[in-house]
Amino acid sequence: MKQLAPFAGWTALIAGFAALITYLFLPELPILPLTLACIAGLNAIFFLAVDRKEVLRSLKTRTALYGMNATVVVLVFLGILVFINILTHRHKFRWDLTETSVYTLAPQTLKIASSLPRKVKITAFFESGNAARNEFQRVVDGYKAVTDKIEVEFVDPDRNPSIVKQYGVTTYGTVVLESGKQETKIKKATEENLTNALLQVTRDQQKKIYFLSGHKEKNIEDKENAGYSQAKQALEKDHYKVEQLLLLQTGEVPEDANALIINGPDKVLQESEIAAVEAYLNKGGAVMLLLDPQQDSGLTPFLERWGVDIRDDLVIDPLAKLFGADYTTPIISQVADHPITREMGQQTIFPLLRSVSAITTEGLETTQLLFSGPKSWAEKEYQSGKVKVDPGIDLQGPVPVAMIASKSIKSSEPKADTDASAPTKKAHLVVVGDSDFASNQYFNLYGNGDFFLNTASWLAKEENLIAIRPRQRKWSPITLTETQGNLIFMLGIIALPGLVMLAGFRVWWKRRSL
């Protein structure tokens, strides 16, 4: 029996270690680690029972005492780590140190997720062990942290072909969202795609935005720099239906229009068209009017009736040079406190901008929304070739360049027989002194796209969509000068390793002489 004790001891150690490894790395085989643990325990009991005197004698040696002290220290340290892990599990907090915060959900996403009208079931088709599955889990955990209306189920396509056939899935990584009678699929499970899919399955009605055409406006199908194709695609991603409107044919703004956008007309609008736009507003409509400098669209009398003074001038900002822009390309950072701009953390850039001021008008509420810098001014005589501030002629900064005019419209239908007062609607007109800021060339610069989309969403009464859009991963290479590269080479490759080698050599030489 005594001769078998060492064999039992080694068997206990090896079986115990094997049980730990299989438990950690083969969780799908629960019987194997349990069997190995039983073998380790039985052998350990046998070893201690047979060779207990030798074990007790070994425990009293100086080496054993030092070993037990070290073991206690290690156990205390592991206990602290376990305690910290429990705290972090119960009180989750993350720091996102990336430049564009790509691992943090955008405010728009958080708004939409926290205000879902009903339950959404998400079925994700990923292979077991696929890295993309872990990435999707990270993203969807951010959604689940702000709402309990999202249910997620992972399906391995290789092990569940019947479910794959049921949903009509053809590629790995497909995610299916279901809510009510709505269903949609996305093949690339990014935050942007997932948020847009949530909008699609939780909205039973798709709102419609029209772009006026027929006056050389910027075309929403044009993919060149001057076009508006990116603006159209961004609106469609927010689940709007976008169409062009030719008022000379229809004679009126359609009843299903949730907002009308007039983006940079280069020809004068007919009186009948202006009357149709105003009639739409007087029914409680919403219009975004983007008017470029040096253009006369014939809208001045209409705008004056709606409390808007739009002058024939050009905003000049000398401080734009500090940002690498031209004097006539002001960068706007001063904004009024309004739902459109409240959550915008970035500046906007406007190439060639005119002033847009408010006129006090009875029955209208006006809000000047964006302002140029304090050193800027609105140059009236910009065609002379020499620009300078002319007091009494030019508007001095901060110059208002975008504003909102709102009017309460009484409905013609009474609210109830017992209440003779008619309900009211709100008509909103947003006027901006430039249309190029939302063109393909500038849409993704600074906060231009967010300002355009926030304005459209506010006009369409979709305030949940007013926020910053999901961030994109930014490629930020480090560019070093020759001197910086040489310095890093000397410190990292020669100096620091050399110091370590010298310290080692000194210790060796000192011990050698003992």
| Burial class for 184, CB neighbours closer than 10 Å (0-12, 13-18, 19+) | middle
Q: What is the DSSP string of 188-251?
A: S--HHHHHHHHHHHH-SS--EEEEE-SSSPPPTT--STT--HHHHHHHHHTT-EEEEE-HHHHS
| Model-wide pTM > 0.75 | no
Q: Tell me which of 261 and 7 has the higher pLDDT.
A: 261
Model pLDDT, residue 96:
64
> Looking at the chain, how many residues does it have?
514
208 pairs with which residues across the strands? 241, 257
Given a cut of 50, whether residue 187 has pLDDT beyond it is yes
- Residue 406 has which token pair? 């709102």
Give how far Cα 198 sits from Cα of 193, 350, 440, Å: 9, 33, 26
In whole angstroms, give the CA distance from residue 235 to residue 49. Answer: 77
Q: How many CB atoms lie within 10 A of CB 2?
A: 8
In whole angstroms, give the CA distance from residue 427 to residue 259. Answer: 10
Q: Which CATH architecture is the domain 107-201 placed in? A: 3-Layer(aba) Sandwich (3.40)
User: CA 337, 343, 345 angle in degrees (round to 5)?
Assistant: 105
Model pLDDT, residue 478:
67
pLDDT grade, residue 59 (50/70/90)?
low
Torsion of the alpha carbons at 87, 90, 96 and 101, rounded to the nearest 10: -170
Q: Which among 134, 142, 126, 128 has a CA at the least distance from the CA of 94?
A: 142
In whole angstroms, give the CA distance from residue 99 to residue 216. Answer: 40
- Select, from the ranges 4-8, 169-173, 343-347, 457-461, the one with the highest average predicted confidence (pLDDT): 457-461
Q: Residue 119 is which amino acid?
A: K
Fold for domain 207-465?
A: Rossmann fold (3.40.50)
Q: What is the DSSP string of 336-374?
A: -SSTTTTT--S-EE-SS---EEE---TTEEEEEEEE--T
Encode pLDDT of 196-237 as tens digits.
Answer: 788 878 877 788 999 999 999 999 999 999 999 999 998 988
Encode pLDDT of 425-470 as tens digits.
Answer: 889 999 999 999 999 999 988 889 989 999 999 999 887 666 656 6
Encode pLDDT of 476-514 as tens digits.
Answer: 566 677 788 888 888 888 888 888 998 888 888 888 766
In whole angstroms, give the CA distance from residue 76 to residue 82. Answer: 10
- Residue 176 has which token pair? 């299916």
In whole angstroms, give the CA distance from residue 245 to residue 254. Answer: 9
Model pLDDT, residue 249:
92
Cis check for the bond before 398: say yes or no (omega within 30 of 0).
yes
Model pLDDT, residue 258:
94
Angle between helix 448-459 and helix 229-237 axes, rounded to 10 deg: 60
462 SS3 class: coil
Model pLDDT, residue 22:
84
Given a cut of 50, whether residue 420 has pLDDT beyond it is no
- Residue 53 has which token pair? 């005197």
In whole angstroms, give the CA distance from residue 471 to residue 190. Answer: 11
Encode pLDDT of 305-336 as tens digits.
Answer: 999 999 999 999 888 776 667 788 888 888 99
* Domain assignments of the chain as residue spans, ordered by start: 2-90, 107-201, 207-465, 480-514
* Percent of the chain surpassing pLDDT 90: 35
| Burial class for 66, CB neighbours closer than 10 Å (0-12, 13-18, 19+) | exposed
Given a cut of 60, whether residue 262 has pLDDT beyond it is yes
pLDDT grade, residue 290 (50/70/90)?
very high
Given a cut of 50, whether residue 418 has pLDDT beyond it is no
- Residue 211 has which token pair? 């772009």
Write out the H or E segment, with its range, that includes residue 260. strand 257-263
Encode pLDDT of 90-113 as tens digits.
Answer: 666 666 666 656 667 777 788 888
Model pLDDT, residue 224:
94
